[in-house]
Amino acid sequence: MTDMNSEKNVREKVRQLREFYKHLVVYCVVNVGCIFIWIVSGGGYFWPIWVIIGWGIGLTLQAISLGMVPMAKEMLPFLSSDWEEQQVKKMMSKGKPSKPSTPKSSDSEKK
C-alpha cells in the first residue's frame, strides 16, 4: 500500500509541476502581449509592470509551494505541501496524554 500512496503522491506532484509550467508559459505570453500593446500604443507610462508584478507574485508563491525556491521553505514553511500534514500530526501528538497523572494530596486536604 505504501507504493501506491507513494506513486499517487508523485503523480500529484508531477501534475502540479505541469500546471505550474503551463501557468508560466501563459504568464510569459500575456506579458509579451501587454508589452507589445504598450509599444504599439506609443509607449508612455509603462503600465504592463503592474501585470508583470501582480501576476509574478502569484507565480512566485506557486513556485515556492512546489519547492522550486529552496530557501523559501525555511522562511515560509507554511507554503510547503507537507506543512499541513506536519501540523496535524504535531497537534494530535500534543492532545494525547502521555501518562495519567494522579493528584497528590496535601496535608491541608487530609484535615
As for how many domains the chain has, the answer is 1
* Residue 102 belongs to some domain of the structure: no
pLDDT of 37 strictly over 70: yes
Taking alpha carbons only, the member of 66, 68, 88, 64 closest to residue 76 is 64
* Residue 10 belongs to some domain of the structure: no
Residue predicted with more confidence, 38 or 103: 38
Domain range holding 29? 20-83
Residues 59 and 27: beta-carbon distance below 8 Å: yes
Residue pointed to by grid coordinates 515560509: 76
* Residue 57 belongs to some domain of the structure: yes
Q: For position 83, what pLDDT does the model report?
A: 79
Calpha distance 16→21 (Å, rounded): 9
Average pLDDT, the chain: 82
Taking alpha carbons only, the member of 96, 90, 92 closest to residue 77 is 90
Calpha distance 57→68 (Å, rounded): 14
* Residue 96 belongs to some domain of the structure: no
* Residue 8 belongs to some domain of the structure: no
* Residue 53 belongs to some domain of the structure: yes
The H or E element spanning position 91 is helix 83-95
* Residue 64 belongs to some domain of the structure: yes
Calpha distance 21→62 (Å, rounded): 10
Q: What is the pTM of this model?
A: 0.62
* Residue 30 belongs to some domain of the structure: yes
pLDDT of 95 strictly over 80: no
pLDDT of 107 strictly over 70: no
